[in-house]
């Protein structure tokens, strides 16, 4: 629920002029890994959730173990994505892949 709330209320998706927290594509929902996990951790802690990993690697593992994020071809949580806004900005970012149905279960 925390991730769903962040995506619907805080994260900016598909912002061609930036900044974007992630991108929704036909392949999935891609979130910039560090900011997404940092904000999720902060949200969970603010809700009184205990035993949240304090560093990102264990947090990625937890999300992957819970099938919230989808592993890359090597079974790892982090994907590398080349982003090009078509307006002269290009960058390679580390991202997490999430099935959109986990965030928007009733979307068709």
pLDDT tens-digit series, residues 22-75 = 999 999 999 999 999 999 999 999 999 999 999 999 999 999 999 999 999 999
- Identify whether 107 is part of a domain: no
56-65 vs 33-46: helix crossing angle, rounded to 10:
80
If one counts the domains in the chain, the total is: 1
By percentage, how much of the chain surpasses pLDDT 90? 72
Q: Domain range spanning residue 62?
A: 2-102
Instruction: Establish if 38 belongs to a structural domain.
Output: yes
Classify strands 22-24 and 79-84 as parallel, antiparallel or unpaired: unpaired
Is residue 8 in some structural domain?
yes
Whole-model pTM: value is 0.88
The answer to whether residue 108 is domain-embedded is: no
Phi, psi of 62 (to 5 degrees): -60, -45
Element (H, E) at 36: helix 33-46
């Amino acid at each position: 629920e925390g991730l769903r709330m962040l995506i619907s209320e805080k994260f900016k998706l598909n912002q061609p002029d930036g900044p974007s927290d992630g991108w929704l594509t036909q392949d999935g929902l891609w979130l910039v890994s560090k900011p997404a996990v940092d904000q999720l951790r902060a949200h969970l802690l603010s809700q009184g959730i205990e035993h949240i990993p304090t560093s990102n690697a264990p947090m990625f593992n937890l999300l992957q173990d819970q099938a919230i994020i989808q592993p890359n071809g090597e079974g790892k949580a982090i994907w590398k994505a080349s982003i090009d806004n078509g307006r002269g900005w290009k960058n390679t970012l580390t991202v997490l892949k999430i099935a959109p149905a986990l965030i928007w279960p009733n979307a068709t």
